[in-house]
Amino acid sequence: MITETSTIKFGGTRLAYGVRRSSRRKTVAVAVDPDDGVLLTAPENVPLQKLDEVVRSRATWILERLRWVEQAEPRRSPREFVSGESFLYLGRTYRLRVAPPSAKPSCRLEAGFFVVAPARSQDRSQRARSVRALLEGWFRDRAAERLPERVAVWRERVGVGEVGQVLVRAQHKRWASCDAAGNLRFNWRVMQAPMKLVDYVVAHELTHLVHADHTPDFWRRLGRAMPDYDKRRRDLRLLGPAVDW
């Protein structure tokens, strides 16, 4: 949640940014988000004047990122959850085929199609909500099956001890998160990405169990386990809008 805003002047440009405070953070993180614009995540005790200095020091990079966001592929039209729409699963595209409503709603992957039989309903909007819920449930089930396997593989490569629970959640702004108890929470949407990008999310979050922030030590440890992590990270950013529904 954005709790503060500020603006700095860089040359002839005014840069506005928002601030999200976190008691868990020890350093200031700068991000450029397609929806929120320039966003700083900062410890609770860092004054706004100090954050202005951080933005001014990163202004060249921020302006480059803002230009990149403007040129990136625009967000797709909202899904209608009707036959013919395309959805990704592990990087491959499958068409949606909406079957007649059923007393036993279901979703299955069959011969290149997501075949969804929605619940019996009275109007089109209710039917669309049923199709969406069934699709999401299908992806959640796949995530619950596959992600613990990938965590087991990458836990050893990253060099992490025992982990807590592997949980599946719905998060629009994050691919994953973790807590001090070692529990890992993954966004079910990641199952739409190719497995090599799923593995990047898994390895990234496992590394956070050792290094809470994106320090040089964090990236070094991740790089030893996954030398091409930077390319995977870029590919995941480009994929983002296609899997957000």
The verdict on residue 80 lying in a domain is no
What's the burial of 123, exposed, middle or buried (CB within 10 Å: 0-12/13-18/19+)?
exposed
**Residues 232, 142 share a domain:** yes
The residues near 219 (Cβ < 8 Å, ≥ 6 apart) are 229
Longest dimension (CA), the chain: 64
User: Is 181 domain-assigned?
Assistant: yes
17: containing domain: 4-71
Answer yes or no: is 11 within a domain: yes
**Structural domain contains residue 50:** yes
Model pTM greater than 0.85? no
Please check whether residues 97 and 215 belong to one and the same domain: yes
77 assigned to some structural domain: no
pLDDT of residue 8: 95
User: Is 212 a domain residue?
Assistant: yes
pLDDT averaged per 10 residues in sequence order, the chain, 245 residues: 87 92 89 82 93 95 81 67 95 95 94 94 87 97 97 96 94 86 95 96 96 90 95 86 85
* Residue of 197, 189, 168, 167 whose CA lies nearest to 245: 189
CA atoms within 13 A on the CB side of 81: 19
Do 8 and 125 belong to one domain? no
Measured in residues, the chain has a length of 245
Whole-number pLDDT of residue 143? 98
Picking from 54, 57, 32, 59, the residue whose alpha carbon sits closest to that of residue 43 is 54
